A and B are shown apart, each in its own frame.
Chain A
Amino acid sequence: MTTLAVPMSSARPANPSHIGPPAPTLGAAANAAPDGKRKIKIQTTDMGFFYGTHQALQKITLDIPERSVTALIGPSGCGKSTYLRSLNRMNDIIEGTRVIGKVLLDGEDIYARDVDVVELRKRVGMVFQKSTPFPKSIFDNIAFGPRIAGVRSMATLAPLVEQCLKQAALWNEVKDRLKDSALALSGGQQQRLCIARALATNPDVLLMDEPASALDPGSTARIEDLIDDLRKNYTIVIVTHNMQQAARVSELTAFFCMGRLVEVGRTKQLFTNPKEKETEDYITGRFG
């Protein structure tokens, strides 16, 4: 049980070195990572999160490198989803929430006073646990993001929709029925549609909140293949309950417990040789 097979794609370059133990002194200069390693896309420093007076996250310090997949694992209620949703400020919707510490995207503090949340969310796309197609046609679903950003002409929209659907590996299944309601798609197709829709706003980062937890194994495998494709161009952060899935798709894994970040490391190392006792208990099934 302790030795999960971790099939990492062998062609991947080595992962960044300064992960795990915090490096809080890094400022904007961290953008260009030292020693030529991959640069940091999202940098979280001593971040805390409050629902009213209840502190849901404390002292989270985590660097997420660009063009990679980072998995967030941990027992229910550990704060991993809260952390994910704080990266595109979706928690702002909930009244009475508060963030302390710093979250930097490309060196810019996303919680600074003068940040335009709408601009942030265009850059940091999100896919939810339950697929959320709009009750409209497939085409209109994908075109929603570009349209609200001011793209009106069909000459631009049509190829954009095609390109996003191709990226999400859905084009061949739906190319003849773009005008059909998105609600007629199967669960797995709906979820890929949501991924395609998120890609259409031209984001750098994709946040995925248990994207496959409601899907059958076949659809799950397709989503995982898709994630594997997307990592070439996007920074992906994925929350998952399924440790095998974390092991299959991610290069980095962060283990959350009770609102704290217990351990972060290369996925293979974390699953085979965790540093912390809590991590070991969790991945061996003695916890949660």
Chain B
Amino acid sequence: MSQTPENFSANLAWRHRMGWLFAATCRLATWASVVFLVVILLVIVSRAWPRLTPEFLTHFDSYKPESAGMLAGILGSFWLILFTGAICVPIGVGAAIYLEEYARSNWLTRFIQLNISNLAGVPSIVFGILGFTAFVRMFGVPRTAIVLALGFADVRIPLPFGRSVIAGSLTLALLCLPVVIIASQEALRSVPASLRHAALALGATKWQTISRQVLPAAMPGILTGVILALSRALGETAPLAVLGAAYFITFAPGRINSASDLAQHPDRLLQVPFDQFTAMPLQIYNWVNEQSRDFQQQVSAAGIVVLLVVLVLMNGSAILIRQHFQRKIRW
């Protein structure tokens, strides 16, 4: 096995050929994913094309493919994500603040941290089962309702929550929680320690330091993480399907089907969280499962296009926020 110059250079040529092959394989694999992305988008858009009309956005679902629309899903998803954010963001950011700013490194902190990263890996369908048991059925409490008389309007809160927007939002909020916490922690960690020290040295209390200096500085990162988490929640189907959310429904939560409904009955807003709902991905799933080919291939593709457009808008706004603040703040 002596290494003569000849076989060394032959070896080198072989190695160069292997290297070229290796690089080409890696490149191919990577670009293949982009090609796949483009192909699926083209397939979906071309199939959806005949159904992509304004009526598709403004009509409720129908048994006839030509008049089926996504309004219930769009409004349902809107309310669902609104309440999800309202529940998940304060808790998630609060937890991140506790872990980054207050917690000492002891067993409790390590346990919470480990728990969060494990929770992030729990399948979404398991969250659905939790939501069904804890919010839809509320562990089987007898069916009642609390009526809150607010003077100008009554709010009827059903117990258990049943298949309502609030049950869905609570479930999705728990699902998003680990993502929001982890993103917020990273954002807080990226705020330089000198900012905290400067505020503390001026006699600021811990919370004053956090609320007036650290949080504003971390806000772009937190917002980006929140939007990404909520856009993931927007596309989630499995937990909502497990909750038993409606597939076919011809009204929006709170019966607020249009702007004029809202103008005439603003009190219906209070009933929104406790009403039945469907969501965009659920409608798509329903259409895919329909018998008719038109529903299966075209209407569901149109639904997918609408969902993807909303997702792209959300992600785009996250990118804009990040860029806007990056220009403004430099350390």
Taking Cβ atoms with an 8 Å cutoff, the residues of A that contact B are 88, 90, 93, 95, 118-119, 121-122, 125-126, 128, 130, 132, 134-135, 144-145, 148-149, 183, 194, 197-198, 200-201
**Known A121-B202, A130-B194; further 9 A-B contacts with Cβ < 8 A:** A90-B197, A121-B200, A121-B203, A126-B201, A134-B198, A134-B213, A145-B203, A183-B330, A198-B201
Q: Which residues of B contact A128 (CB under 8 A)?
A: 194, 197-198, 201
With contacts A148-B212, A183-B330 taken as known, whether A90 is within 8 angstroms of B195 at the C-beta atoms is no
Give me 5 A-to-B residue pairs in the complex whose CB atoms sit less than 8 angstroms apart, sorted by A's number.
A128-B198, A130-B194, A134-B199, A144-B202, A198-B202
Q: Which A residues touch B30, using CB under 8 A? A: none
Residue B204 is within 8 A (CB to CB) of chain A in the complex: yes
> Considering only CB atoms, which chain B residue lies closest to A198 in the complex?
B202
Task: Please report the C-alpha to C-alpha distance between residue A88 and residue B330 in the assembled complex, in whole angstroms.
Answer: 29
Known: A90-B197, A93-B197. A197 touches B217 (CB 8 A): no
Question: A135 and B202: CB pair below 8 A?
Answer: no
Beta-carbon contact of A88 and B204 below 8 Å = no
Interface residues of B (CB under 8 A from A): 104-105, 194-205, 208, 212-213, 216-217, 328-330
Chain A residues whose CB sits within 8 angstroms of the CB of B104 once the complex forms: 95
| Complex Cα spacing A106 to B205, Å | 23
Name the prevailing secondary structure of the B interface residues: helix
Enumerate chain A residues within 8 angstroms of B199, measured Cβ to Cβ.
134, 144
- Inter-chain CA distance A186–B197, complex, in Å, is 21
For B196, list chain A residues within 8 Å (CB). 93
Chain A residues with CB below 8 A from B203, complex form:
118-119, 121-122, 145, 148-149, 201
A148 to B199, CA, bound (A): 10
- Tell me if A132 and B197 are in contact (CB < 8 A): yes
| Interfacial chain B residues near A121, Cβ < 8 Å | 200-203
A222 to chain B, nearest CB (A): 21
Contacts of A134 in B (CB 8 A): 195, 198-199, 213
Determine the chain B residues whose CB is within 8 A of the CB of A183 once the complex forms.
329-330
- Selected contact of B198 from candidates A88, A119, A149, A194, CB within 8 Å: A194
Q: A132-B195, A134-B195, A135-B329 are in contact. Are A125 and B204 (CB under 8 A)?
A: no
Q: When A and B form their complex, what is the total count of cross-chain residue pairs whose Cβ atoms lie within 8 Å?
A: 62
Which residues does chain B contribute within 8 Å of A132, judged by CB atoms? Answer: 194-195, 197-198
> What CA separation (Å) do A130 and B105 show in the bound complex?
28
Cross-chain contact B201 with A144 (CB below 8 angstroms)? no
Q: Output the residue of B199, B202, B329 with the most chain A CB within 10 A.
A: B202
Residue with the highest number of chain A CB atoms closer than 10 Å, among B198, B201, B213, B328: B201
Residues of chain B within 8 A (CB-CB) of A90 are 197, 200-201
Instruction: Give the complex CA separation of A95 and B103 in angstroms.
Output: 11
Residues of A within 8 A of B213 (CB): 134
**Is B217's CB under 8 angstroms from A135's CB?**
yes
Q: Are B105 and A95 in contact (CB under 8 A)?
A: yes
Evaluate contact between A144 and B197: CB separation under 8 angstroms: no
| CB closest residue in chain B, given A123 | B203
Known: A95-B104, A95-B105, A183-B330. A148 touches B204 (CB 8 A): yes
Q: Tell me if A125 and B201 are in contact (CB < 8 A).
A: yes
How far in angstroms is the closest Cβ of chain B from A186?
A: 15
Q: How far is the CA of A144 from the CA of B216 in the complex (A)?
A: 14
A130 to B194, CA, bound (A): 8
| CA A135 to CA B213, docked complex, whole Å | 8
**CB pair B194 A197 closer than 8 Å:** no
Known: A135-B217, A135-B329, A148-B212. A201 touches B202 (CB 8 A): yes
In this complex, what residue of B is CB-closest to A181? B328
Q: Which residue of A lies closest to B193 (CB)?
A: A93
- CB contacts (< 8 Å) of A126 on chain B: these are 201
Q: How far is the CA of A106 from the CA of B204 in the complex (A)?
A: 22
Q: How far is the CA of A128 from the CA of B203 in the complex (A)?
A: 15
A125 to B105, CA, bound (A): 29
Q: How far is the CB of A19 from chain B (nearest CB, A)?
A: 26
B205 touches A118 (CB 8 A): yes
CB distance from A51 to the nearest CB of B (A): 15
Instruction: Give 8 closest A-B pairs by Cβ, nearest first.
Output: A122-B203, A132-B198, A126-B201, A121-B203, A145-B202, A132-B194, A148-B208, A148-B204
